[in-house]
Structure 1
């Protein structure tokens, strides 16, 4: 797929989602960038602002198979991964796959399930496979998990383990719409998600994801990423800084942002554009900092402001087209 075609398709994808999810272009673009890298997305916000609608619309626009898991307090791990059932007619065991066996999986209200059930997703998120009764089965490719969660202060919620949070490439928040956007939403005849035609096919997504990994990252950009990560591990307001996996995820998201913006190389603006979404959920505030009202996003901004940004001219891109 040549670069002009890819850019046109991605623009059409964002525009298509925006016709359903009004006034959230920045968040839609970040979600598409996450998809380009093959990263999972966590949407955290109050109920009723369109988290589930955004996930369903993205999945509909990207084609492929779709699975939905409604997380509740009594959900079992086998309800996610699948279960082996004995068939008396044949005298054999038959595997019935769970909803995680799909290209795009909506984990709705993920933090309403107990940690034991949430941990059932760890293997799927990290290795794109699940193990049931000692047998490991690969998940369809591409595989993307798009999870929604309510704020922790809401009744019936559990805190996600840090190990699971670290496996989400981005954490996004939609927030309430502006008044004019809400009026536009009320005035618009919304197209049912079930009737949305795909803009991308799974094979095209896989090709784009492959091309993203060839986007050039200058050594000075890599040094900048590591400098920020190292500074986070010494920050006075953090008890847990950015992990090496977080640094890798940040670089990958920067490559995806550069690809989305039509370049074959990463610049500092790409790095900063994805920093908050990629890093804020990977750091843990010290207790006194959390009680004083400081947010993780503010600490990430502080880290970026304290670290010198590399300056360089346009690098020579490697061969091949996007």
Structure 2
């Protein structure tokens, strides 16, 4: 992505000439010539990475808006970096120029080519260095903004528990007596619900779930689920059962309607995490959570930056 914007800054004639404006950012114009240069380079890269994707009208509209949004984003963040006096060194700028323009076929720095270029009076080095400095300022300031948050050990553990803690759930299904593929009548629902209420009354305040269910003529079952396991073998897709099993007080009897009837269930026992597994996965999870926190913090910061700015877009579709 670095090259799109550098090429946009450095046109054959030097700096961008104003031949129309596609947007203004805090009264600074974004010229159509600069936009078109960046946009064409973006399309080249898009075709390279997506050889089978057609460049139709819908793609063109998306690409033009994406490129303009990126240009605006760079302008806002770069100006903010200048405002807070964030710096990049001349050495960093020079190293980036060498990296982009003066690598030989072997990938190493081509000193001969570099010395020829810096002594060529036809090359506008002041403008080039200014463009690279501005782009580096954007990149490094954005990196700085996106690396200010750190996931705490507590946050890491809480997330791991949420992802890996399990619940042992006892359940019984009171089935409708209606034949399969036959519409269930209100009367049938009423009869089934009465059976459920009778069984629920027997189970209330009792720890003998399995015994009472068997004595009542039904088949007791047990399953183990995580907080994100919404499908349970033998019951079906029951996100409500999973959520309430983790949220409800232990032993509380609850019901959920399923296609075959009514499932009566209670959370029996919470199964804690595997501490050895957590120890092995902790650092990777911490990195992932830190990236997530920084991404969210950056989006919030950037939205606030846009709110404080004046952005006018003239680009048509």
The TM-score bracket by the shorter chain reads: under 0.3
TM-score by length of 1: 0.25
Kindly name which structure, 1 or 2, has the bigger radius of gyration based on alpha carbons. Answer: 2
- The structure that is helix-richer by fraction is 2
TM-score by length of 2: 0.26
